[in-house]
């Protein structure tokens, strides 16, 4: 077949959906094609060549660059013979087409590659240059950039664009802040009008030189150790030594010492604190309690004259008043109620001159009061000049 003028390379920008891409140049078979995505050659198992199209098994990613290049092998497998009818037109045409395909592919590569002996000339803010074969060096000319400089069109960087086959496509300079982007480093020595303070750099949360010097003045030099306005020294365990700790009081926070059992029992110290264990042993000691049996407190007690016209407590605790219900009949009213009515009442009554004996009985019990009777030996009620009552719970 005829071989027209053609470029054996085609490039597409994928959209993430399309899987089929047309081959716009002649191609005799799949094995003469090289397919790339973003410059990376794809395995033939990932695409097929059918109907003049390269068809991917999975669509290339959106904006990926799909490259299709013909690369005919530099081999010849056809051998013409006089006896086997191998010198036919179709065989000869394919053989000659392969030759022209190889010539087109070589011409494409030659046209795209830069002559290694050619001199690369620079312009604008670029400097340097030279031949590619002897080492091309490009750099930026010195540019007036201050600390407050807003990068713009006067700051340029070199950009070399390559084709997917590795050949140089363009050599240009672009704005640092332009669409090409890039990273630009300026030697500090070339920056002028630099700030001389932290605020000048926009730093507002750092210590100033004066503040740092003040802090360093309190370093451990001995002069400021253990003195007012200085710092406290530490013992070998890393703790503040006892002599430099403020003693605590009822109005001042500070360090306190724990009292021993002897000090709790003596009960004369006013500076030490009591632990739960020493508190319990101290209470037992002061109440003359021995052994391990628990203690239970009296929840209310009172003594009064039951013969008075108006009965009031002579002494007592947690008793608000005494109600006179009649002869030898009294109600003891608690200031604070008991948790329930399951408490113990103990009572005595002074034996009057005319009685043969006196005793106390319980008439009724509530959480807020207990009603008692002062009785004589024959069972009748009698007012007593001294009645005492205690409540345990």
CA angle 296, 301, 304 (to 5 degrees): 160
Query: What CA–CA distance (Å, rounded) separates 153 from 175?
Result: 5
Mean pLDDT of 41-67: 94
Mean pLDDT over 294-305 rounds to 92
Helix, strand, coil tally for the chain in percent (to 5): 15, 30, 50
Q: With a threshold of 0.85, does the pTM exceed it?
A: no
Question: Three-class SS of residue 44?
Answer: helix
CA atoms within 13 A on the CB side of 99: 8
Of 84-93, 270-279, 312-321, where does mean pLDDT reach its minimum?
84-93
Judged against a pLDDT cut of 80, whether residue 331 lies above it is answered with yes
Start-to-end C-alpha separation, the chain: 121
Residue 309 token pair: 């016209």
Per-residue confidence band for 286, with pLDDT thresholds at 50, 70 and 90: confident
The C-alpha angle with vertex 25 and arms to 21 and 30, in degrees rounded to 5, equals 65
Average the pLDDT over each of 251-260, 323-332, 362-371 and give the range with the smallest value: 251-260
Three-class secondary structure of residue 160 per DSSP: strand
Burial grade of 350 (CB within 10 A; 0-12, 13-18, 19 or more): middle
Amino acid 181: pLDDT: 46
In the predicted structure, residue 119 carries a pLDDT above the cut 50: no
pLDDT confidence tier of residue 131, bands split at 50, 70 and 90: low
More confident residue, 224 or 152: 224
The two beta strands, 47-50 and 119-120, are: unpaired
Question: Has residue 179 got a pLDDT over 60?
Answer: no
pLDDT, average across residues 112-121: 51
The residue that leads in pLDDT, 86 or 382, is 382
Distance CA 9, CA 50 (A): 17
User: How many angstroms separate the CA atoms of 80 and 88, rounded?
Assistant: 9
> Which domains occur in the chain, in start order?
9-112 (no CATH), 119-190 (no CATH), 246-294 (no CATH), 298-392 (2.60.40)
DSSP secondary structure letters along 236-267: TTSSB-GGGSPBP-SSS--B-PBPPHHHHHHT
Residue 43 to residue 191: CA distance in whole angstroms: 51
Residue 133's Cβ-count burial label (10 Å; 0-12, 13-18, 19+) is exposed
Mention every residue, 6+ apart, whose C-beta is less than 8 A from residue 216: none
The Cα 117–Cα 114 span in angstroms is 8
Q: Choose between 245 and 338: higher pLDDT.
A: 338
Mean of the per-residue pLDDT values of the chain: 79
CA–CA gap between residue 325 and residue 306 (Å, rounded): 11
**284: exposed, middle or buried (C-beta count within 10 Å: 0-12, 13-18, 19+)?**
middle
pLDDT value at position 142?
A: 61
Dump the DSSP string for 103-118: HHHHHHHHHHSPPTTS
Question: Does the pLDDT at position 322 exceed 90?
Answer: yes
Please give the average per-residue pLDDT across 181-207, as a whole number.
73
With contact defined as beta carbons under 8 Å apart, do 146 and 193 qualify? Answer: yes
| pLDDT at 139 > cutoff 60 | yes
Give the separation between CA 104 and CA 22, rounded to whole angstroms. Answer: 19
Work out whether strand 168-175 and strand 156-162 pair parallel, antiparallel, or are unpaired. antiparallel
Question: How far is Cα 39 from Cα 41, in angstroms, rounded to an integer?
Answer: 6
Contact 98, 72 (CB under 8 A): yes
- What pLDDT does 64 receive? 92
pLDDT at 152 over 90: no
Other beta carbons within 10 Å of 105: 20
Is residue 378 over pLDDT 90? no
Q: Which two tokens stand for residue 225?
A: 């150790």
What pLDDT, on the 0 to 100 scale, is given for residue 292? Answer: 79
């Amino acid at each position: 077949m005829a071989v027209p003028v053609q470029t054996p390379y085609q490039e597409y920008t994928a959209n993430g959906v399309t899987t089929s891409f047309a081959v716009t140049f002649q191609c005799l078979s799949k094995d003469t094609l090289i397919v790339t995505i973003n410059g990376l050659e794809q395995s033939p198992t990932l695409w097929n060549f059918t109907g003049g199209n390269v068809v991917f098994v999975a669509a290339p990613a959106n904006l990926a660059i799909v490259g299709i290049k013909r690369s005919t092998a530099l081999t010849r497998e056809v051998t013409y013979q006089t006896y086997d009818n191998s010198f036919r037109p179709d065989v000869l045409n394919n053989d000659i087409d392969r030759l022209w395909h190889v010539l087109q592919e070589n011409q494409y590569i030659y046209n795209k590659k830069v002559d290694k002996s050619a001199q690369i000339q620079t312009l604008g803010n670029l400097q340097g240059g030279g031949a590619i074969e002897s080492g091309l060096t490009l750099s930026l000319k010195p540019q007036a950039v201050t600390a407050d400089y807003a990068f713009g069109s006067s700051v340029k960087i070199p950009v070399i664009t390559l084709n997917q086959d590795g050949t140089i496509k363009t050599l240009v300079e672009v704005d640092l802040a332009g669409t090409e982007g890039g990273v630009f480093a300026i030697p500090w020595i070339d920056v002028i009008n630099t700030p001389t303070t932290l605020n000048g750099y926009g730093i507002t949360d750092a210590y100033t030189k004066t503040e740092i010097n003040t802090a360093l003045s309190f370093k451990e030099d001995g002069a400021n150790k253990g003195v007012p306005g200085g710092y406290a020294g530490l013992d070998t365990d890393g703790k503040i030594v006892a002599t430099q700790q403020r003693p605590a009081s009822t109005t001042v926070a500070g360090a306190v010492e724990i009292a021993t059992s002897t000090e709790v029992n003596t009960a004369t110290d006013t500076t030490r604190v009591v632990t739960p264990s020493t508190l319990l042993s101290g209470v037992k000691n002061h109440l003359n309690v021995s052994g391990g049996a628990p203690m239970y407190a009296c929840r209310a007690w009172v003594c009064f004259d039951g013969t008075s016209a108006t009965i009031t407590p002579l002494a007592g605790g947690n008793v608000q008043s005494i109600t006179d219900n009649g002869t030898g009949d009294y109600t003891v009213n608690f200031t604070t109620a008991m948790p329930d009515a399951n408490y113990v009442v103990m009572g005595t009554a002074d034996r009057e001159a005319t009685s043969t004996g006196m005793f106390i009985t319980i008439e009724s019990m509530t959480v807020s009061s207990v009603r008692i009777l002062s009785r004589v030996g024959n069972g009748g009620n009698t007012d007593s000049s001294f009645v005492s009552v205690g409540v345990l719970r």
